[in-house]
């Protein structure tokens, strides 16, 4: 029975990657909550229409306030009419109340839409990222990716609803304010229009500069994040080379660069705002002068001028806002572009195969495979490589450092696609197999096994559900890990720490081997997987794992004892197959393999 089929819950209750009671509580809460961002189209439509419907009443109500203010001044300035005064005050209160209510609801809805959009974007982006091919991760820095995932998605999700919200509100306001102003004095209204082109020109210049500096700040933040992450992740190397001070200086320099850019951004903003204020002031002075003349000529009341000035102050703000939204769109377009680029990126290695046969023999064939890494296209790593892995047999891949052994493994794991030739599994190209099926059938234990924070149990059953304790223990036994697991405080429940940092390298390797074995793969790849094991453990793992049975095994090892015992040996030299055969055949041939063995014996 396969692990997935076993329905027994694991002992010790639910397990958490990340460890600890708080992580457990967090996971429990996550299970209870609906998956973020799964708003139905109907819900989204209702939310968006709510935003659209609430914007006009909220904004248009506010446009009446200056009008009523002017009316009150006129009433107070002429013969006092208590009825007219009470009517105007009541109307003003009614309009204020309803517009505040609509504005409050609109603001609340906006926050709601914003947070949903943010979660949805992050979920989609992360999903797109984890499906990318390995070449992508080798070319793009981690800091860059995490910055896109946190800052840029936040920017984007703010951008869309915020702009829709502000744009609608500003548009309604501008139209409402201008119609009141035209009603009060068309001459003064024409005068106010002089201000807008100048403001727009200044805004255009400012926006272009702002966009450039914002992009530089984003890059600079991503870089400083990368510097910190790199130093923390490689703290052992930093410590052993005594380069703490250099790392601290590197981070300081990165922060200083960001601060310099932010200072520039703030200074330019201050200058721009100063220019705008001066322009507003000049227009207001002109307006007062012309208004005074209109009152003298009897074309306007005093209250009318006050209303007009209030309108003019407001309309300027809203025209600015409309222009600003355009600028904001432009300035955030860089962030959005990157997010969309990652969202739309189609992985170079496709995962849309469908083949998932009920039984698999585990016959692997490399047919004339040539390959270069995308990051170094000028350096051919494999050239016309052909060899086979027979079902149930152990094949050893040997060669000097850099001869291409791990690259063959990477191709068999479909981390990359060869530029020429094919890798076949049971006679069919690897790309035609279903992604999950393939990785269940072809299991890899790499040179530097990566564990996740969480318990030993979680690490062994990684990616599987419903494994029984017997299965986990059997895998641990075969990987010669059961003994040391039993000595841990909480056995299988023991937390291994971030990247398995609380375990020794040999222990990590054994857990990684157990993780591969529990899948009962048809093809097992061990790439220097036992390099850190002591003699006793290695012999035990070799006996359990390399005995093969029904399983095809590909092993890469510098230890000749492991290689000698293999059924077939393939020798790689400079990315090509130099020779292949059994240990005895190759030794008798006295070729490259013989030299390798002699060299090792001499060491
Ligand atoms: N991600 C990569 N990007 C670019 N070049 C790479 C990458 N990985 C490996 N190479 C290059 O490909 C060549 C073969 O490397 P590979 O790791 O396959 O050798 P190997 O035989 O497994 O070596 P070792 O015994 O040291 O593990 C080397 O020249 C190496 O520099």
Judge if 232 and 296 occupy the same domain.
yes
417 and 300 belong to one structural domain: no
Residues 124 and 57 in one domain: yes
In a domain, 491, yes or no: no
Mutate to test the pocket of ligand 1, among 406, 416, 578 (most ligand atoms within 8 A of CB): 406
Provide the pLDDT for residue 115.
77
Given a contact cutoff of 8 angstroms between Cβ atoms, the answer to whether 566 and 390 are in contact is no
Give 133-191 pLDDT, tens digit per residue: 877 887 787 777 887 788 788 877 777 667 767 777 788 888 888 888 888 888 888 88
Q: Which regions of the chain are under pLDDT 50?
A: 1-42
Asked if 390 and 296 sit in the same domain, the reply is no
Judge if 204 and 265 occupy the same domain: yes
- Are 421 and 387 in the same domain? yes
Longest Cα separation, the chain: 123
Which among 373, 365, 362, 452 is positioned nearest to 406, based on CA atoms?
373
Domain that holds residue 57: 17-344
Is residue 468 one of the residues assigned to a domain?
A: no
> Domain for residue 413, yes or no?
yes
**CA 497, CA 394: separation in Å to the nearest integer?**
34
Residues 327 and 376 in one domain: no
- Same-domain check for residues 92 and 234: yes
- Residue having the nearest C-alpha atom to atom 12 of ligand 1: 381
Sheet of strand 420-425, all strands in order from the earlier edge strand to the far edge: 380-389, 364-372, 420-425, 428-429
Measure the CA–CA gap between 125 and 146, rounded to whole angstroms.
Answer: 11
Residue at a domain's end among 311, 344, 377:
344
Kindly state whether residue 483 falls inside one of the protein's structural domains: no
How remote is the CA of residue 533 from the centroid of ligand 1, in Å?
Answer: 23
Q: Which of 282, 316, 344 is the last residue of a domain?
A: 344
Query: Per residue, what are the HEC states of 482-526?
Result: HHHHHHCCCHHHCECCHHHCCCCHHHHHHHHHHHHHCCCCCEEEE
Ordered DSSP codes for 540-570: HHHHHHTT-TTSEEEEE-S-HHHHHTSSEEE
Interface confidence (ipTM) of the complex: 0.96
Counting the structural domains of the chain, the total is 2
In sequence order, which residues have a C-beta less than 8 Å from that of residue 460 and are 6 or more positions away? 467, 472, 475, 476, 492, 511, 514, 515, 518
On whether the CB atoms of residues 383 and 368 are closer than 8 A, the answer is no
- Asked whether residue 37 falls in the same domain as residue 78, the answer is yes
Residue 461 half-sphere exposure, CB side, CA atoms within 13 Å? 29
pTM: 0.62
Q: Which residue's CA is the closest to the ligand 1 atom numbered 3?
A: 373
Do residues 301 and 416 both lie within one domain? no
Q: For ligand 1, atom 24, which residue shows the shortest CA distance?
A: 401
- Asked if residue 383 has its Cβ within 6 Å of ligand 1, the reply is no
Q: Is residue 171 included in any domain, yes or no?
A: yes
Asked if residue 522 is part of any domain, the answer here is yes
The verdict on 394 and 337 lying in the same domain is: no
Ligand 1: centre distance to CA 445 (Å): 17
Residues 513 and 438 in one domain: yes
Picking from 290, 312, 344, the residue at the C-terminal end of a domain is 344
> Are the C-beta atoms of residues 543 and 371 closer than 8 Å to each other?
no
Q: Per the domain annotation, does 1 fall within a domain?
A: no
Cα–Cα distance measured from residue 383 to residue 368, given in angstroms and rounded to the nearest whole number: 8
Q: What is the CATH number of the domain that holds 528?
A: 3.40.50.300
Q: Is the CB of 402 under 6 A from ligand 1?
A: yes
Instruction: Specify if 405 maps to a domain.
Output: yes
**Ligand 1, atom 17: nearest CA belongs to which residue?**
406
Contact predicate 142/328, CB 8 Å: no
Ligand 1, pocket-test mutation among 349, 370, 396, 407, most atoms within 8 A of CB: 407
Quick: pLDDT tens for 520-552.
Answer: 889 989 888 777 677 777 777 777 776 656 688
DSSP state of 357: -
Element housing 445 (H / E): strand 442-445
Residue found by looking up tokens 């092993």 in the block: 555
């Amino acid at each position: 029975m396969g692990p997935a089929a076993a329905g027994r819950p694991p002992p010790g209750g639910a397990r958490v990657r990340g460890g600890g009671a708080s992580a457990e509580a967090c996971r429990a809460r996550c299970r209870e909550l609906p998956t973020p961002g799964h708003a139905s189209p109907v819900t989204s439509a209702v939310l968006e229409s709510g935003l659209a419907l609430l914007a006009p009443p909220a904004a248009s109500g506010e446009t009446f306030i200056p009008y009523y203010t002017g009316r009150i001044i006129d009433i107070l300035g002429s013969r006092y009419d208590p009825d007219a005064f009470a009517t105007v005050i009541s109307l003003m209160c009614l309009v204020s109340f309803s517009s505040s209510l609509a504005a409050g609801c609109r603001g609340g809805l906006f926050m709601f839409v914003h947070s949903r959009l943010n979660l949805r974007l992050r979920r989609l982006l992360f999903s797109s990222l984890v499906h990318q091919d390995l070449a992508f991760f080798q070319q793009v820095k981690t800091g860059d990716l995490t910055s896109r995932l946190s800052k840029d998605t936040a920017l984007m999700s703010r951008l869309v609803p915020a702009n829709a919200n502000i744009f609608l509100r500003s548009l309604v306001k501008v139209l409402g304010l201008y119609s009141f102003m035209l009603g009060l004095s068309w001459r003064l209204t024409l005068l106010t229009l002089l201000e807008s082109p100048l403001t727009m020109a200044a805004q255009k210049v400012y926006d272009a500069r702002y966009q450039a500096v914002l992009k530089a700040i984003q890059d600079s933040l991503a870089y400083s994040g990368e510097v910190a992450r790199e130093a923390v992740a490689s703290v052992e190397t930093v410590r052993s080379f005594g380069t703490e001070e250099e790392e601290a200086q590197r981070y300081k320099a990165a922060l200083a660069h960001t601060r310099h850019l932010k200072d520039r951004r703030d200074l330019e903003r201050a200058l721009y705002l100063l220019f705008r204020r001066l322009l507003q002031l000049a227009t207001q002075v002109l307006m007062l002068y012309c208004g005074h003349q209109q009152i003298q000529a009897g074309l306007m009341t005093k209250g009318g001028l006050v209303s007009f000035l209030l309108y003019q102050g407001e309309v300027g703000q809203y025209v600015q806002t409309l222009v600003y939204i355009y600028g904001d769109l432009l300035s955030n377009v860089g962030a959005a572009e990157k997010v969309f680029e990652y969202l739309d990126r189609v992985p170079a290695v496709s995962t849309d195969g469908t083949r998932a046969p009920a039984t698999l023999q585990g016959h692997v064939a490399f047919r004339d495979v040539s390959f270069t890494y995308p990051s170094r296209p000028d350096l051919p790593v494999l050239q016309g490589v052909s060899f086979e892995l027979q079902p149930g047999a152990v094949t050893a891949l040997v060669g000097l450092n850099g001869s291409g052994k791990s690259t063959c493994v990477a191709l068999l794991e479909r981390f990359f696609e060869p530029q020429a030739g094919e890798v076949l599994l049971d006679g069919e190209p690897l790309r035609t197999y279903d992604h999950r099926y393939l990785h269940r059938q072809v299991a890899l234990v790499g040179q530097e096994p990566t564990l996740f924070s969480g318990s030993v149990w979680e690490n062994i059953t990684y990616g599987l559900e419903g494994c029984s304790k017997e299965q986990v223990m059997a895998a641990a036994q075969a990987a010669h890990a059961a003994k040391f697991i039993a000595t841990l405080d909480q056995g299988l429940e023991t937390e291994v720490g971030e990247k398995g940092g609380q375990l020794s390298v040999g222990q990590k390797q054994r857990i990684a081997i157990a993780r591969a074995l529990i899948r009962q793969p048809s093809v097992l790849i061990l790439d220097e997987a036992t390099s850190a094991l002591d003699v006793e453990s290695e012999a035990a793992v070799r006996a359990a794992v390399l005995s093969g049975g029904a399983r095809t095994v590909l092993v890469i090892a510098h230890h000749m004892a492991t290689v000698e015992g293999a059924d077939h040996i393939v020798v790689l030299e400079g990315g090509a197959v130099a020779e292949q055969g059994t240990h005895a055949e190759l030794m008798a041939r006295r070729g490259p393999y013989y030299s390798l063995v002699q060299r090792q014996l001499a060491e």
